[in-house]
Amino acid sequence: MELRLDGRAAIVTGGSKGIGKAIAAAYATAGARVLITSRKADQLEAAADEVGHGCTWLAGNAGDPDDAERVIATAVDQLGGLDILVNNAATNPYAGPLIDIDGPRWDKTMQVNLTGPLVWTQLAWRQAMQTGGGVVLNISSVGGMSTSPILGAYDVSKAALIHMTKQLAAELGPGVRVNALCPGLVKTDFARALWEGDGEARVARSYPLGRLGTPADIAGAALYLAADTGSWITGQTLVLDGGGLVAFAQG
């Protein structure tokens, strides 16, 4: 089977930089018609130009149901359908113990990281995939499989996204496949506070593969799951973390 997406239409949320942009580039290079979306039009325009291959863009807030409906309707119209949805957009407005988080920042975390992917998937299902089939890919995190002294709320949202992936895969098969990717620490602007300075070397030493991830590492797996190579895979969570979860505990 070839890693090709010829004739398929894809939306990537949070597609203006980092992992989202890398996935969009991988899909477009593989022949897909790709629309990227995020909040800032100037970043989207620059990203679409960089991706090339006819990549288009439309600004929208992934946590706003009205924006989601508008973007998906536009994509279905402009791209001639919708075959692939990548729920990549995420936020992390709070760092600290979960027990101390305030209501507004908890709500925002869940709205973007969990409710958002559900709403986008519902709309993709209703507007295209219920009759035409397709692929949904949720970008979760290894944080959803462990605990953290400062990222508890974010990790709870990503743990719930892993379970939601399984639930939707059970509900939407056989026409729609739903899977999740769980990156470890990837060198993106979103995660900069975790790797900048001496953080990169420190974390890399704890990974059996000896380095942090790059957006391209995640994009390759995203392409594999969206293409025919993933045609018998649904409800699964693929960890991409340089071996971090199996590393020996540091004494």
Catalytic residues: 154
Q: Phi first, then psi: give them for residue 79, nearest 5 degrees.
A: -95, -10
Can you say whether the dihedral through the CA atoms of 48, 132, 119, 99 is positive or negative? Answer: negative
The answer to whether 175 and 233 are in contact (CB under 8 A) is: no
Q: Which secondary-structure segment (H or E) carries 107?
A: helix 103-110
The answer to whether 188 and 19 are in contact (CB under 8 A) is: yes
Let me know how long the chain is: 251
The rounded distance, in Å, linking the Cα atoms of 187 and 191 is 7
Render 33-97 in DSSP notation, one character per residue. Answer: EEEEE-S-HHHHHHHHHHH-TT-EE----TT-HHHHHHHHHHHHHHHTS--EEEE--------B-
The answer to whether 114 and 128 are in contact (CB under 8 A) is: no
